[in-house]
Structure 1
């Protein structure tokens, strides 16, 4: 639902999904917490190219503090978003000025960058602070205007102490 207009919305972060997957995602949204993960992984099997499924997976597992599963979903989503955007599979090979690194507009490249931010957050939550800092520095090189909210992670890292 759109909180501003009150209208029902059927959009997912990361793009569109096939009708079958849309139904699974809606079922997952209504399901008891114990069933959500299996429904979302089923959706991933049905549509391995569906970026919204990876977002739902890593958000769900992170909310359950299932860091390993959240990271697994985010890594798979990162690889798929890179493939769709034409970015290198290795996130460290993506550099400012790469022709496919157009993070301003919605699409696979922006989803890729957002998922990289999710990986920095997951590293932070697992106390892998140097990894979180490295990922954050990479994100800031790629998106110096901080349009994806990486400033929140930077603030959390600062609150945890000086740079390692």
Structure 2
């Protein structure tokens, strides 16, 4: 996908606040919100919690709150392959929302306001990429995970999202504890 101009990054404060609110829960249909709450309440019952998450997803398929709920459910249930699928969906959404290239490998530091922790949409992108990197490594895709970590460190050189922790883990892979 060709790189687009970043007019959304030059929005005024109120416009940026509206987008940030939508990302964090504003604009979520009340029924989807109810299903997210029920999923949390029924977290111990995998089938019931997952059904509520799927209901929320049917009502708001591209809403960050729903995607984050699905990601956390799969992650904490140890269903890492499914968590990776949701992380990839979050990464694609974050790329669209930030006007970035769909392939994270082609994203550059100046493409979004990655240096500002207060910039909600670029931060969501960084966290989605971090989740992707972590899960790739956990699932044995070490090279792809490490490439994503390197990209995180390029985009966020002050390490606001703590990608260096993942990089330290990567450095220890294959080393015995007594080395």
TM-score interval, normalised by the smaller of the two chains = 0.7 to 0.9
The two structures have a TM-score, normalised by structure 1, of: 0.81
State how many pairs are aligned: 150
Larger radius of gyration: 2
Q: How far does residue 69 in structure 1 lie from its aligned partner after superposition?
A: 0.9
Pairs within 5 Å for 1:134-153: 134-153=147-166
Deviation at 1:38, TM superposition (A): 2.6
Q: Given the alignment of the two structures, is residue 89 of structure 1 paired with residue 96 of structure 2, yes or no?
A: no
Matched, 1:67 2:48: no
Gaps of 5+ in 2: 1-20
Query: Any idea what the Cα deviations from partners look like across 1:1-58, whole Å, max 9, x if unmatched?
Result: xxxxxxxxxxx9x511332221111000011223222322322221123112212211
Q: 2:111 aligns with which of 63, 74, 98?
A: 98
In the alignment, what sits opposite 1:30? 41
Gaps of 5+ in 1: 1-11
Q: In the TM superposition, what is the alpha-carbon distance from 1:68 to its structure 2 partner?
A: 1.8
| Cα 1:118/1:99, change in 2 over 3 Å | closer
CA separation in 2, counterparts of 1:130 and 1:79? Answer: 20
Partner of 1:15: 24
In the alignment, the residues of structure 2 paired with residue 36 and residue 46 of structure 1 have an alpha-carbon distance, to the nearest angstrom, of: 16
Selected match of 2:126 from 106, 113, 137: 113
Give the structure with the larger helix fraction: 2
Q: Cα–Cα, structure 1 residues 53 and 34, in superposed 2: closer, same or farther, change >3 Å?
A: same
TM-score (norm 2): 0.75
| Mean CA deviation greater in 150-159 or 75-84 | 150-159
